[in-house]
Chains A and B, each alone.
Chain A
Amino acid sequence: MKLITAVIRPERLSQVKQALFHIGVTGVTLSRVSGHGGEREILEHYRGTQVRLEFHEKIKLEIAVSDAFVDRTVQAISSAARTGEVGDGKIFVQALEHVYRIRTGEADGEALTPVNTPKEGY
C-alpha cells in the first residue's frame, strides 16, 4: 500500500479527477494549498503598491492505493496534470503502514477496495 500525494495546478483538477475515476480510483482527499516550486512570482499592482506573490495556489490530492494501483495512479495524474510549463507540480509516493475503513472496521487491502465498482465503460 502506498500513500500518493500529488500537488497540481488548480485548473487541471477536473482533468485529473476524470483520469483517476477512469482507472477506478475514486478515493481522493483534496485540499487547497499554496506552494513554491520553480515558478516565477506573480506581480500584482494595487494603485502604487506592488505586491509579490511567491507562493502559488495549488491543489493537493492524497490518495491511498494498493500496490497494484500505484503505477497507473501516478501515470494517470501525471498525464492529466501536465501542461509542460514550470509549475505543473509533484507527485510523492510514500509507504503506508495501515488503512482502516471506519464504517466497517475493514483493514488494509479490503479497506482500499472501492464500495461502488465503476460503471462499465466509464
Chain B
Amino acid sequence: MRRLLVMVMLLGSSAALAQSSTPKIDTGDTAFMILCSALVLLMTPGLAFFYGGLVRSRTVLNTMMMSFVAMGVVALLWAVLGYTLAFGGGGNAFIGGLEHLGLNDLEGSSVTGTIPSYVFFIFQLTFAVITPAIISGSLVDRMKFGSYVLFIALWSLLIYSPLAHMVWSEGGFWYKHGLLDFAGGTVIEVATGTAGLVAAMVLGKRSSGTLRVAVPHNIPFVLLGMGLLWFGWLGFNAGSALAANAVAAAALVGTVLAPAAAMCMWLLWEVQRGQKPSAVGAATGAVVGMVAITPACGYVSPMASIWIGLLASSASFWVVQIKYRINSDDALDVFACHGVAGFMGVLLTGVFASSKINPSITGGLLEGNPAQLLIQLEGALFAVAFVGVGTFVLMHLVRMLLGLRVTAHQESQGLDLSSHAEEGYTSGDFGFVGKEAGSIDSPVILNAND
C-alpha cells in the first residue's frame, strides 16, 4: 500500500490536485476497490463467528457483539474524525490534520489515486472497523460491554489512526523511513497482538470457575469464521494495491498460499507433538498465515509467501504452547496469532521483499539490502512500544471512568444474560411471552407456620 500511496496521497491532497493534470477515475480500479471494500467488511462478521465459536455458549452473543459493535461505533468515529487523523493533510509525522474532518473535501469529483475518494475512505473504514474487534479476543468472558465500547472508541482514535498515519500516509514517520507494510502487519497485526496482551493484563484473568468451563462451544462456527476471514482477506490484501494491477495479483497469490502453508504446518506440529490434527488447529493455522502475509503480500514472490506461512505458523504454534507462562489471560490467543505472526511477517518482509514483484521498492535482505530488515525490526518494535503504552493508559482510564469487569456472579452466569438480556441458545421452552403477571411478580413467601 505504501509505495502506491505516494502517488495516491499526492493526488489526494488539494495542493497536488492543483498542480497535476486533472486526476482521472479508472473505472476498473474503482469497481475492484468497491468489491474489495465489501470483502473486507465481511471479515468482521467472520471474526465474530471465529471468536464466538471459541467461547462457552453462555457468552457467545457477548463475544460476537464485541466484533459487531465495531461495525457501528468505529465506522461512525472513522467518518467523523478517525479518517482525517489517519489520512488528512496538514498534520505532522505522527498524526494527520483535520483537513477531512467530517469527510470534508471528499465529495463528488475528489479522487484518491485512480479511485473516488469516497471509495478509498470506505476501504480504509473496513480496516479501521476490524482492527479493534480483533483485540476483543483477549478480553472475552469478563469485561463490561460499555467499558469495551469506550475502550475501542478511544483506541481507534488515539492509537489506530496515528499508527495508520505514521505507516501509510505520505507524511507519516515510518512511511518516510521506508517501512514496508503492504496491508497492515504493523498497523493491524502487531498492534492488535500487543494491545490484546496488555489489555488482558490490565483487565485480569477470568475467574477460576470460568476458566474451568472455557471450552470452545461451537467449532463449526470457528471453521465458518475462518472461511469468511480468508474470503475477505483476499480483498484486504489485494485491495491494498488500491488498483486492479499486477501488484494486486501478487498479493492475491500470497494470500492464498501463505495461509495454506501455515495451516499444513500447524497440523504437522500437532501431529509431531503426538496430538491429532485438529479442526481448531487448522482454522488457527490458516488465520496465522493470513496475518503473516499481510505486511508482505504485494512485495514477495509466491514461494516466499509459502516460507512466510511455514515460519510464522511455527512461531505462533510454539508461543501458544507456552502461553500459560505468560501472566496475561489472553483468552483467544490474540498475541500468539496476531502479535507473533504479525511480527514475523513484518520481519520476513524485510527478508523476502523483491523488486521483481514490486518494481517500486529496492528489495530486502535476499536482494542484497539488509538495511530493509533493520527498518522492519525498528518499525515493528515501535508499534509494540507505542501500542503497548497507549493501551495500558487507555485501559486504566476506562477503569477509572466505568470500571472494567462484570461482577463475579454475572461472570459465572455468562455474559449474554447480564450484558444483553438474551441467550445465544434460548431456553425459551420454559419462558413465556407477554405482559401477564408471572407468579414471581408478587412472590409468595410461605412461612413454616402458614
User: Which residues of A are at the interface with B, using a C-beta cutoff of 8 A?
Assistant: 11, 14-15, 34, 38-46, 49-55, 57, 83, 85
CA distance A85 to B445 in the complex (A): 15
A-B contact pairs, 27 of them (CB 8 A): A11-B209, A14-B213, A38-B443, A38-B445, A40-B440, A41-B440, A43-B421, A44-B417, A45-B422, A49-B433, A50-B433, A50-B435, A51-B426, A51-B428, A51-B431, A51-B432, A51-B433, A52-B431, A52-B432, A52-B434, A53-B431, A54-B430, A54-B432, A54-B439, A55-B427, A55-B431, A85-B409
User: Which residues of B are at the interface with A, using a C-beta cutoff of 8 A?
Assistant: 209, 212-213, 409, 412-413, 417, 421-423, 426-428, 430-435, 438-441, 443, 445
A52 closest partner in B (C-beta): B438
In the complex, besides A34-B427, A55-B431, 5 extra interface pairs with C-beta distance below 8 angstroms are A40-B440, A52-B431, A53-B431, A54-B430, A54-B440
A44 and B431: CB pair below 8 A?
yes
Task: Enumerate chain B residues within 8 angstroms of A46, measured Cβ to Cβ.
Answer: 422
A9 closest partner in B (C-beta): B412
CA distance A52 to B426 in the complex (A): 12
Shortest CB distance B255–A (Å): 38
Those 6 A-B pairs whose CB atoms lie nearest each other, nearest first? A11-B412, A55-B430, A53-B431, A41-B440, A51-B431, A44-B421
Shortest CB distance A59–B (Å): 12
B444 closest partner in A (C-beta): A38
CA distance A45 to B419 in the complex (A): 12
A53 closest partner in B (C-beta): B431
A-B contact count (CB 8 A): 57
Task: Enumerate chain B residues within 8 angstroms of A53, measured Cβ to Cβ.
Answer: 427, 430-431
B427 and A14: CB pair below 8 A?
no
Shortest CB distance B156–A (Å): 28
CA distance A43 to B213 in the complex (A): 25
A34 and B422: CB pair below 8 A?
no
Shortest CB distance B355–A (Å): 56
Among A15, A41, A43, A57, residue most surrounded by chain B Cβ atoms (within 10 Å): A41
Among A39, A44, A50, residue most surrounded by chain B Cβ atoms (within 10 Å): A44
CA distance A53 to B421 in the complex (A): 11
Task: Enumerate chain B residues within 8 angstroms of A42, measured Cβ to Cβ.
Answer: 417
B440 closest partner in A (C-beta): A41
B212 and A45: CB pair below 8 A?
no
A54 and B417: CB pair below 8 A?
no
Shortest CB distance B350–A (Å): 48
Task: Enumerate chain A residues within 8 angstroms of B439, measured Cβ to Cβ.
Answer: 54
Task: Enumerate chain A residues within 8 angstroms of B432, measured Cβ to Cβ.
Answer: 51-52, 54
CA distance A52 to B435 in the complex (A): 9
Task: Enumerate chain A residues within 8 angstroms of B426, measured Cβ to Cβ.
Answer: 44, 51
Shortest CB distance A27–B (Å): 22
CA distance A115 to B428 in the complex (A): 41
B445 closest partner in A (C-beta): A38
Q: Of B422, B435, B438, which is within 8 A of A54 by CB?
A: B438
Shortest CB distance A13–B (Å): 9
Known: A51-B431, A52-B438. A45 touches B413 (CB 8 A): no
CA distance A42 to B414 in the complex (A): 14
Known: A38-B445, A42-B417, A45-B421. A15 touches B209 (CB 8 A): yes
Task: Enumerate chain A residues within 8 angstroms of B422, measured Cβ to Cβ.
Answer: 44-46
Task: Enumerate chain B residues within 8 angstroms of A14, measured Cβ to Cβ.
Answer: 209, 212-213
A54 closest partner in B (C-beta): B438
CA distance A50 to B432 in the complex (A): 8
CA distance A38 to B442 in the complex (A): 11
CA distance A44 to B61 in the complex (A): 13
